[in-house]
Amino acid sequence: MKTFKMISFQFEHDGVEIPLIDGIIINQENHEKTWILELFTEQPYRKHFERLWETRESFDVQVTITSPDNEPAPFTVKVETIEEIGDRLSVLMKGHVRTVRLKYAEQLLQTLLEKNLSKEELLSEFRKGMRERPLLKGENG
Residue 78: exposed, middle, or buried by beta-carbon count in 10 A (0-12, 13-18, 19+)?
middle
Give the model confidence (pLDDT) of 22-63 as tens digits. Answer: 999 999 999 999 999 999 999 999 999 999 999 999 999 999
**The Cα angle at residue 85 between residues 84 and 86, in degrees rounded to 5:** 105
- List, in sequence order, every residue forming a beta bridge with 70; answer none if it has no partner: none
Residue 46: exposed, middle, or buried by beta-carbon count in 10 A (0-12, 13-18, 19+)?
middle
Q: Report the C-alpha gap between 106 and 115 in whole angstroms.
A: 15
- Give the residue among 9, 7, 14 at the shortest CA–CA distance from 140: 14
Give the model confidence (pLDDT) of 90-141 as tens digits. Answer: 999 999 998 765 577 788 888 899 999 999 999 999 888 887 777 776 554 4
Q: Kindly state whether residues 92 and 111 are assigned to the same domain.
A: no
Other Cβ atoms less than 10 A from the Cβ of 64: the count is 22
In a domain, 120, yes or no: yes
Q: Kindly state whether residues 20 and 87 are assigned to the same domain.
A: yes
Q: How many domains does the chain have?
A: 2
Domain that holds residue 107: 101-134
In a domain, 113, yes or no: yes
Whether the full predicted model's pTM is greater than 0.75, yes or no, is no
In 3-state terms, what secondary structure has residue 124? helix
Q: Kindly state whether residues 74 and 123 are assigned to the same domain.
A: no
